[in-house]
Amino acid sequence: MTNDKKRLVLVADDDSSMREVVSEHLQSVGYDVLVAEDGVQALSLARRHRPDVVVLDVMMPQTSGWEVCRTIREE
């Protein structure tokens, strides 16, 4: 990345190994990464930190990735 400011990515997945693989790869290429274990936590982190990109698992407990995406877009 040529920009001095790192981009912030939120990775939300209920599968811990998937969260780890995706977040480690993103960090290795220069991104700052937040991780969430479910949709509720993803929404909380998105509201608090305003990430540049959100990577969502579609099927998560409590709130699906689809609902998280809809809520972020609405807000």
Using the CB atoms, write b or e for 25-39: b if 16+ within 10 Å: ebeeeebebbbbbbb
The model's pLDDT over 7-64, given as tens digits with 9 standing for 90+, comes to 999 999 999 999 999 999 999 999 999 999 999 999 999 999 999 999 999 999 889 9
* CB 28, CB 51: distance < 8 Å: no
The whole-angstrom separation of Cα 37 and Cα 40 is 8
